[in-house]
Amino acid sequence: MESSRQARDWLTPRRPRVLLRAWAEGQHRLWLGYEAEGARPFGLDADEHAAVLALCDLSDDERAQAIRS
């Protein structure tokens, strides 16, 4: 039963979203760490971090609004 549930998680957007969130968190911590050390930041800044998390929060059939820079 448990392996069936795990297989379903891999076949849905849930698992990739979990992985993407974890990656974004790590990248943002990297940015904050470099910034705190006074070094040139590398990773995701606050806006990029928020954008990735917003993408993860969209439902499967929901479209994101276009952002113009």
Structure token digits, residue 60: 């499967």
CA separation, residue 32 to residues 10, 18, 20, 28, 60 (Å): 31, 21, 18, 6, 31
Model pTM above 0.75? no
pLDDT, tens digit, 9 for 90 and up, residues 15-60: 888 999 999 999 999 999 999 999 988 899 999 999 999 888 888 7
CA separation, residue 30 to residues 18, 43, 47 (Å): 18, 6, 14
Q: Which of 52, 51, 50, 33 shows the shortest CA–CA distance to 42?
A: 33
The one-letter code for the residue type at 4 is: S
